[in-house]
Chain A
Amino acid sequence: MEIIVASSVGVLTAGGVYLILRLRTFPVILGLALLSYAVNVFLFASGRLAINMSPILSKYGDATYTDPLPQALVLTAIVISFGMTAVLVMIALGAFLEAEDDRIDLDLVGEDDINGEDAGK
Chain B
Amino acid sequence: MMHWIILPVVLPALLAPLIAFVMRYDIVLARTASMVGSIGLLVISIVLINFAAGGETFVYRLGDWPAPFGIVLVLDRLSALMVFLTSLLAVIVLIHAIATGWDARGRHFHALFQFQLMGICGAFLTGDVFNMFVFFEVLLIASYGLMIHAGGRQRIQAGLQYVVMNLAGSTLFLFALGTLYASTGTLNIADLAVRIPELPEGEAALVRIAVMLLLIVFAVKAALFPVQFWLPNTYANAPAPVAALFAIMTKVGAYAILRVHTISFGPGIEATQDIAGMLLFPAALVTIAIGAFGVLGARRLMSLISFSVVGSMGTLLLAVSSFSQTATSAALYYLVHSTFAAASLFLVADLVVSRRASDSLTPKSPTVQNGLYAALFFAAAIAMAGMPPLSGFLGKLLVLDALRDPDIIGWTWSAILIGSLLTIVGFARAGSILFWKSTATEPQETDPNPPHPATAWEVAPTMATISLLALLAVFAGPASGYLEATSAQLFDRDGYVSAVLSAEGGE
12 A/B residue pairs, CB under 8 Å, sorted by A: A32-B164, A46-B182, A70-B178, A73-B178, A76-B134, A81-B170, A95-B159, A98-B156, A99-B153, A104-B160, A106-B233, A114-B299
CA–CA, A25 and B160, complex, Å: 9
Q: Contacts A36-B171, A113-B360 hold; do A73 and B157 have CB atoms under 8 A apart?
A: no
CA–CA, A70 and B362, complex, Å: 55
CB distance from B170 to the nearest CB of A (A): 7
CB distance from A57 to the nearest CB of B (A): 13
Cβ–Cβ < 8 Å partners of A94 in chain B: 148, 151, 156
Residues of chain A touching chain B, judged by Cβ–Cβ distance below 8 Å, are 16, 20, 25, 28, 32, 35-36, 38-39, 42-43, 45-48, 69-70, 73, 76-77, 80-81, 83-84, 87-88, 91-92, 94-95, 98-99, 104-107, 109-111, 113-114, 117-119
Q: Could you list 19 further interchain pairs (A-B, Cβ under 8 angstroms) beyond the known A95-B160, A113-B359? A: A32-B168, A35-B168, A36-B171, A38-B171, A39-B175, A47-B182, A70-B178, A73-B178, A73-B181, A80-B134, A81-B167, A91-B144, A94-B148, A95-B156, A99-B153, A104-B164, A105-B161, A106-B233, A114-B299
CA–CA, A57 and B157, complex, Å: 50
Q: Contacts A69-B181, A91-B163, A104-B161 hold; do A113 and B358 have CB atoms under 8 A apart?
A: yes
Report yes or no: B174 in contact with A77, Cβ–Cβ below 8 A: yes
Cβ–Cβ < 8 Å partners of A109 in chain B: 154, 300
Cβ–Cβ < 8 Å partners of A70 in chain B: 178, 181
CA–CA, A106 and B141, complex, Å: 22
Q: Does B158 contact A (CB under 8 A)?
A: yes
Q: Does B391 contact A (CB under 8 A)?
A: no
Report yes or no: B141 in contact with A91, Cβ–Cβ below 8 A: no
Report yes or no: B130 in contact with A42, Cβ–Cβ below 8 A: no
CA–CA, A29 and B82, complex, Å: 34
Cβ–Cβ < 8 Å partners of A111 in chain B: 299
CA–CA, A110 and B298, complex, Å: 9
Determine which residue in A48, A81, A109 has the highest number of CB atoms from chain B within 10 A of its CB, and name it.
A109
Report yes or no: A98 in contact with B151, Cβ–Cβ below 8 A: yes
Q: Contacts A32-B171, A106-B233 hold; do A87 and B130 have CB atoms under 8 A apart?
A: no
Report yes or no: A39 in contact with B164, Cβ–Cβ below 8 A: no
CA–CA, A95 and B159, complex, Å: 9
CA–CA, A32 and B172, complex, Å: 11
Report yes or no: B179 in contact with A92, Cβ–Cβ below 8 A: no
Cβ–Cβ < 8 Å partners of A48 in chain B: 182
Q: Contacts A84-B167, A91-B163 hold; do A99 and B303 have CB atoms under 8 A apart?
A: no
Instruction: Tell me the B352-389 residues at the A interface (CB within 8 Å).
Output: 357-360, 362
Q: Does B177 contact A (CB under 8 A)?
A: yes
